[in-house]
Copies of this chain bind each other. A is one copy, B any other.
Amino acid sequence: MERTLICETPKKVGKKIKINGFVHVVRAHGKIAFADITDRSGILQVVGEEDLADLRPQYAVEIEGVVQARPEKMINDKIKTGTVELTAEKVIVLAKSDEMPFDMGGETLNLELPTLLDFRTLTLRHQKIKEIFKVQAAVLAGFRNASEDIGCTEVTVPTISASATEGGAEVFSVDYYGHKAFMTQSPQLYKQMMVPSLERVYTIAKAYRAEPSVTTRHLSEATQMDCELGFVEFDELLDALEFVGGKTLKYVEEKCGKIFKDYGVSELKIPAKIPRLTMREAQVIIKDRTGVDHTKEKDLDPEDEKEICKWALEEKESDLVTVTHYPTKKRAFYTKPDPEDPEFSLSYDLLFRGLEILSGSQRVNDHEELVSAIKDRGMDPANFTMYLQTFKYGMPPEGGFSFGLERITMKLLNLGNVREASLFPRDMERVDFRFSQKEDLSSK
């Protein structure tokens, strides 16, 4: 008999079917037993006798039975299959499970972060956790669709690099056939190198950052979604990033409406015209609203980002706000200074509900200017030979932007820690297990 997906059962009342899935919970009432079975499409109540009562959570099972309509008063509005149940005729255990180390039967999984990660292969099975990664898949698809819409071609760029480029000491080094190589901190330099080839590109790439600190916002291995566009000026870049940012988020909302509901996420407010401010303008607004004077500061701090997002929501009915013109010295060497005031740069961040989710800039596209910018930061142009080659042979005005996949996922669902938005998060203390814990596990 062919397998029926659980979501199809309401259409099969009276029919004999076979389902596959995992046992979520089992409730035995005397001779009768109920089991909730989940598969990738949903959850279904199965009614049976002894063999059903013997099932335990996380058993992988195959069940044959007949789909029955539930009496009116037994209908469960909360689930898609709430109008039916399956009367089990044959229950086959495909794989047993050890006893759960904690209760997985509740609507939410209230575990401390270390437990959530120590039992990652288990906790990822909880409905509410699975939803996080359904949202993440939608973010990826939404980003790709939007990037294709603006004419970008997908590319795959390398992550092993011969020098610790982009500056900063926070790189992981690799033993590369006896040579010292490095994991790239972002696809930045390679996506730029693609501009004179495919002109507009996007890439979904790993970014490795050896941040020597543990925060709720940073991962040592994260996923970036990047676009880079040739023959564009600053205003077109702003249009492009707002289009891609807005369209990505709207796609997720459209695909994951029910999940947003489960997580209590309010409807997205993305107006046709997303508010744009320079950093200095934002600081003046913040001062006017809060009395806190950050108008001489060189960056927006997290509190500033929250405040300017509150302003955007209250005054412009927007969950997004674009902030431009950060100080040139605060941004990477490839950021183009504003010709009208070179202390500030043609850079931008896109803020979403209090958090920066995207960052980028118009780039320096002149070879000599770029060499100077590299030297000005105390770096050696010899470490950028292949990158600089691009600029020797005609690089048009260009720019781009970059989203953090886990960060957007975290922010969309109001998660407390970016680790919750990574299937198997890597940080200073943990690769699957905490390093301190690994010794104990090995001896088991």
Contact = CB atoms under 8 A, between A and B. Distances in A.
Interface of A: 3, 20-23, 39-40, 58-60, 62, 94-98, 100, 119-122, 124-125, 129-130, 133-134, 136-137, 140-141, 151, 153-162, 172-177, 179, 181, 183, 190, 193-194, 196-200, 204, 206, 208, 210, 212, 220-221, 223, 230-231, 365-366, 382, 385-387, 389-397, 405, 422-424, 426, 428, 431-433, 435, 438, 441-444
A153 to B, nearest CB: 5
Nearest to A178: B435
Contacts of A175: 172-174
Nearest to A205: B206
Nearest to A183: B174
B231 A3 contact: yes
A385 B97 contact: no
Contact of A95 (B159, B172, B365): B365
A160 B428 CA distance: 12
Nearest to A386: B432
A438 B176 CA distance: 15
A264 to B, nearest CB: 23
B125 A154 contact: no
A366 B387 CA distance: 49
A239 B194 CA distance: 38
A276 to B, nearest CB: 20
19 contacts: A60-B196, A60-B231, A94-B231, A95-B391, A95-B394, A95-B395, A97-B393, A121-B197, A121-B387, A122-B389, A140-B156, A141-B154, A158-B221, A159-B206, A160-B426, A162-B432, A174-B183, A176-B220, A382-B443
Contacts of A441: 382, 385
Given A156-B405, A174-B183, 17 more contacts: A20-B396, A21-B231, A100-B393, A124-B197, A133-B198, A136-B156, A137-B153, A156-B223, A160-B172, A162-B438, A173-B175, A174-B174, A176-B220, A176-B431, A181-B431, A206-B206, A385-B442
